């Protein structure tokens, strides 16, 4: 039979399900304020990284499109297309 109880630590309050074979499953029910702040900071950093990556991806797409355009023009000049 599973043993179910609540446990609190620095992250917050967890519902803990302990299996008969000793495996514990922790489900975060109520995060602490410090944990919420930490997750918000991490999300903000991730948004900044994603914005930088989007700029790089846009630039690479422009380069790829320009290279394709130039290649098509070159092939048309050579009469291969």
> pLDDT by residue (tens digit) across 12-64?
999 999 999 999 999 999 999 999 999 999 999 999 999 999 999 999 999 99
What pLDDT, on a 0 to 100 scale, did the predictor assign at position 66?
96
Regarding whether 40 and 16 lie in a shared domain, the answer is: no
Are 16 and 38 part of one and the same domain? Answer: no
Number of domains in the chain: 2
68: Cα separation from own chain's centroid: 31
Amino acid 71: pLDDT: 94
CA 58/CA 55 separation, integer angstroms: 5
Domain identity same for 40 and 18: no
Residues 24 and 48 in one domain: no
- Cα–Cα distances in Å, from 57 out to 18, 19, 43, 47, 52? 46, 47, 20, 15, 9
Q: Which domain holds residue 13?
A: 1-31
pLDDT at position 16: 96
1 vs 36, which has greater pLDDT?
Answer: 36
pLDDT of 81 reads 77
What is the pTM assigned to this prediction?
A: 0.60
22, 48: one domain: no
């Amino acid at each position: 039979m599973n043993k179910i109880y609540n446990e609190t630590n620095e992250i917050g309050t967890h519902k803990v399900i302990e299996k008969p074979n000793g495996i514990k499953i922790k489900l975060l029910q109520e995060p602490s304020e410090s944990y919420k702040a930490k997750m918000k900071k991490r999300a903000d950093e991730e948004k900044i990284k994603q914005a930088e990556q989007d700029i790089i991806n846009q630039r690479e797409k422009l380069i790829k499109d320009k290279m394709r355009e130039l290649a098509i023009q070159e092939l048309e000049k050579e009469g291969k297309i």
